[in-house]
Structure 1
Amino acid sequence: MNITSFAQRLTLLVSLFVSASAMAATAIPAPPQLAAKSYVLMDAASGQVLLENNGDERLPPASLTKLMTAYIGTLKIRSGEIGEQDPVPVSEHAWRAGGAASGGSTMFLPLDSQVPVDALLHGIIIQSGNDASIALAEYIAGSEDAFADLMNKTAEQLGMQNSHFMNATGLPDPEHYSSASDMAKLARAIIQVDPEHYAIYKQKDYTWNNIKQGNRNLLLWRDSTVDGLKTGHTEEAGYCLVSSAVRDGTRLITAVFGTTSPAARAAETQKLLTYGFRYFESKTFYHKDQQLAEARVWKGTTEQVKVGLAQDLTLTLPKGQVDKLQPAIQVNPLLEAPLAKGAVVGKVDLTLDGKVVDSVDLVTLEAVEEAGLFRRLWDSIRLFFFQLLN
């Protein structure tokens, strides 16, 4: 996609949310031109893509793959399937394919040693160790091939439609690919699901086996608002970086594929972050499970049911616009029991200058059981006249 068509897409995106007069007042400049094959700028709260260029293009992700490896590791810890201090054996496959002799990034794990899961996570995230990635994959799934299947199932659950994994490291394989958009989705999941382990991504160095290695994400030194995530590089992939930063309560995520050097991937990422924070802002209007209203229920054991949202309602717009949005709650007046928790009973619209810019389902926050025969008959009569009069 050339920059002209990209700028046209951005203008179209913004026009969906902002009236012509409001857009003129905001005066958003054209997006920055990045020297990269593909990139995405995402708002972390809403998952809304603010900028993208070839975001869905399938490309080799190199060591960005390890974001998925580490993510699955933390999921297994959270579920109790593995423990942070579990000793993990370093197999010959992990040592030969990912150790010092392999010539790739490594944690320098000795053959047949045993390493705690927590140390492996640090080695994967900070040192980008191929040996650590393979060792953890084998411990979780029995083999790296079986772990790749788990990676693909997890990717499907996250809506990563342009990703397919063949290994835990990102070493080149024709059938191993991902996209900037998918990696941004994965980064968002990592940040939201497990904040405790996400803290590892901002560590600048880690020492194991008396060998200290630095984090390759140069933005951790250049920008104090950046707190993750991961670099990647192979000859085929070029230099890649998935990053995230928080300023004034807003978190943005970037994914940049195919730059020419470590300095370039940091500089191009910084362009996206600067543009995003300067010209966009997000606001959470309602939180998940927050009661927004009570709805009338017919033929139920109760006449009222609490209603709200299944997910936070967050929207990102050009600066100066979010405070102008007006929320409007619409509830179906003809609700009949039984109603399950989470049943859709209406919607919440956000409008700007009279135009709906976002609409989400309003759901029940509790279940309502069906009433007895007498109550149902009485409500049927009342409901008949209610509909007749309305």
Structure 2
Amino acid sequence: MLFSARIFALCASLTATAALGQGFDTSAEAAYVYDQGTGTVLLAKNEDTPLPPASMSKLMTIYMTFEAIADGRLTVDEVLPVSAEAAAYDGSSMFLDTTDRVSVEDLLRGVIVLSGNDASAVLAEALSPDGTEAGFARLMTQRAQQMGMMNSTFVNSNGWPAAGHRMSMEDLGILANRLITDYPTFYPLFAETEFAFDGRVPSNSRNRNPLLTLGIGADGLKTGHTQEAGYGLTGSAKQGDRRVIFVITGLQTREARAEEAERLVNWAFRQFAEKEVATAGTRIAEAEIWMGDAPTVGLTVAEDTTLLVPVLNEGGIDAEVVYSGPIEAPITAGDQLAELVINLDGLPEKRLPLVAETDVARGGFTTRLRTAALVLWDKFGPGADTAEEVPEEA
């Protein structure tokens, strides 16, 4: 039977009802905004729709290159040849040719800072099982699915327009989060604003990320643009202890992309704040016990818990403790028995596990006798339904 337990204490700082989450109206075709520390999705618009990602799909090539370095298949100072196929790419480029042999480190900067289509293809061919970019693209799709990116299919390594080459904004958010958390040593590469490879084409040496020099904590990740995709950006910014990851696509101009990205970052940091909602060891509610040496057990969170809440609204939080019970003894302190379900308008439902505050041993003879008496009373006592069932007529 599903029970709803009476809540004793919930941090007094929780006095916000979110109406701001749904209040941001983005002009992007699709968008995804994620608060990393609390795991809160602040904005989701067409987030699971597979769309042309343009150069933002290079983030998958970068991630798989980081993996190859981490497991020893590549080294940062290893030099790689440039194939005719890689050198033939137009668009964003390191301006490589087939006489070049380029270090993995330079190629990574060429992809991250310069958005080099050629550099991305060189890395792809080096890691491909058959030495081709198409073979690497198949690996990209497989690895993406393993990472939970179920709306991503790759045809090439760099986002060059191709039928079927698609990613969702949520998938790009997942990928950005993994790049930041899995490879913190490499992540500072995304904040580099300039890379003048071998003195070639100095006018092409600037990072296209429009937020890096604005002083708002932006430190990555990747822009993208094709005629089909429009202008997009997978970005991240950190202010204090908070980090926000965001993805937008489908903007009509470079200027619109820059303005929308900055507006999103400012909104995410200014309109939401972290609040401690529960402290480990503080009793939140009680759950009923069956056949125990105590009739109830206190419920608490296993560790201090922080949520993201809007900063301007007034009102109360909608929180409920739910569990299936009564819960049969014995119970050990720390056993998960229930969930604290928190709802803030405009934000996803949050479910926090609740654990037993103390041990509850199985009751002795007196407890069993009392329980049996209660069962009999419920079945046969005043108010019990003891009417004889009358068979239906044939």
What TM-score does the superposition give when structure 2 sets the normalisation length?
0.70
- The alignment partner of 1:220 has SS state of coil
Provide the C-alpha distance between the structure 2 equivalents of 1:335 and 1:77, rounded to a whole number of angstroms: 50
Label 1:50 to 1:85 Cα distance change in 2 as closer, same or farther (>3 A).
Answer: same
- The alignment partner of 1:221 has SS state of coil
Provide the C-alpha distance between the structure 1 equivalents of 2:154 and 2:37, rounded to a whole number of angstroms: 27
Report the Cα offset of residue 52 of structure 1.
1.8
Label 1:175 to 1:29 Cα distance change in 2 as closer, same or farther (>3 A).
Answer: closer
Label 1:39 to 1:209 Cα distance change in 2 as closer, same or farther (>3 A).
Answer: same
**1:300-379 alignment runs, 5 A limit:** 315-319=307-311, 345-346=336-337, 349=340, 358-361=350-353
What's 1:139 paired with?
126
What's 1:206 paired with?
195
- The alignment partner of 1:152 has SS state of helix
**1:145-224 alignment runs, 5 A limit:** 145-211=134-200, 212=202, 213-224=205-216
**1:240-255 alignment runs, 5 A limit:** 240-255=232-247
Provide the C-alpha distance between the structure 1 equivalents of 2:330 and 2:73, rounded to a whole number of angstroms: 43
What's 2:296 paired with?
none
Q: In the alignment, which of 117, 123, 126 is matched to residue 110 of structure 2?
A: 123
Provide the C-alpha distance between the structure 2 equivalents of 1:48 and 1:112, rounded to a whole number of angstroms: 48
On the 8 A contact 1:108/1:209 being kept in 2, the answer is no
Provide the C-alpha distance between the structure 1 equivalents of 2:281 and 2:127, rounded to a whole number of angstroms: 40
What's 1:109 paired with?
96
On the 8 A contact 1:239/1:258 being kept in 2, the answer is yes
Report the Cα offset of residue 315 of structure 1.
3.1
The Cα offsets for residues 184-217 of structure 1, whole Å up to 9 and x where unpaired, read as: 1111111111111111111101011212410001
Report the Cα offset of residue 22 of structure 1.
3.6
Provide the C-alpha distance between the structure 1 equivalents of 2:320 and 2:226, rounded to a whole number of angstroms: 48
Report the Cα offset of residue 257 of structure 1.
0.5
What's 2:4 paired with?
none
What's 1:266 paired with?
258
Provide the C-alpha distance between the structure 2 equivalents of 1:203 and 1:344, rounded to a whole number of angstroms: 47
Report the Cα offset of residue 256 of structure 1.
0.7
Identity %: 34
**1:32-111 alignment runs, 5 A limit:** 32-96=24-88, 98=89, 103-111=90-98
Report the Cα offset of residue 174 of structure 1.
1.4
Report the Cα offset of residue 33 of structure 1.
2.8
Label 1:136 to 1:283 Cα distance change in 2 as closer, same or farther (>3 A).
Answer: farther
Label 1:357 to 1:83 Cα distance change in 2 as closer, same or farther (>3 A).
Answer: same
Given residue 242 of structure 2, which amino acid in structure 1 is its aligned partner?
T
Larger-gyration structure (1/2): 2
Given residue 202 of structure 1, which amino acid in structure 2 is its aligned partner?
A
Given residue 127 of structure 2, which amino acid in structure 1 is its aligned partner?
I
On the 8 A contact 1:47/1:188 being kept in 2, the answer is no
Report the Cα offset of residue 45 of structure 1.
2.3
Provide the C-alpha distance between the structure 1 equivalents of 2:276 and 2:118, rounded to a whole number of angstroms: 41
Label 1:84 to 1:316 Cα distance change in 2 as closer, same or farther (>3 A).
Answer: same
Report the Cα offset of residue 35 of structure 1.
2.4
Provide the C-alpha distance between the structure 1 equivalents of 2:52 and 2:343, rounded to a whole number of angstroms: 41
Given residue 25 of structure 2, which amino acid in structure 1 is its aligned partner?
Q
- The alignment partner of 2:31 has SS state of strand
Which of structures 1 and 2 has the larger relative contact order (alpha carbons within 8 angstroms, sep 6+)?
A: 2
Label 1:286 to 1:150 Cα distance change in 2 as closer, same or farther (>3 A).
Answer: farther
On the 8 A contact 1:228/1:244 being kept in 2, the answer is yes
Label 1:95 to 1:283 Cα distance change in 2 as closer, same or farther (>3 A).
Answer: farther
On the 8 A contact 1:281/1:316 being kept in 2, the answer is yes
Provide the C-alpha distance between the structure 2 equivalents of 1:194 and 1:283, rounded to a whole number of angstroms: 28
Provide the C-alpha distance between the structure 2 equivalents of 1:320 and 1:43, rounded to a whole number of angstroms: 18
- The alignment partner of 1:263 has SS state of helix
Q: Does 1:226 align with 2:218?
A: yes
Given residue 55 of structure 1, which amino acid in structure 2 is its aligned partner?
E
The Cα offsets for residues 288-310 of structure 1, whole Å up to 9 and x where unpaired, read as: xx999xxxxxxxxxxxxxxx97x
- The alignment partner of 1:69 has SS state of helix
Report the Cα offset of residue 143 of structure 1.
2.0
Stretches of structure 2 that go unaligned for 5 or more consecutive residues are: 1-13, 283-300, 356-360, 372-394
Report the Cα offset of residue 64 of structure 1.
0.3
Label 1:170 to 1:385 Cα distance change in 2 as closer, same or farther (>3 A).
Answer: farther
- The alignment partner of 1:148 has SS state of helix
On the 8 A contact 2:16/2:310 being kept in 1, the answer is no
Report the Cα offset of residue 79 of structure 1.
2.0
Given residue 151 of structure 2, which amino acid in structure 1 is its aligned partner?
N
On the 8 A contact 2:21/2:43 being kept in 1, the answer is no
Provide the C-alpha distance between the structure 1 equivalents of 2:318 and 2:108, rounded to a whole number of angstroms: 42
Label 1:207 to 1:336 Cα distance change in 2 as closer, same or farther (>3 A).
Answer: same
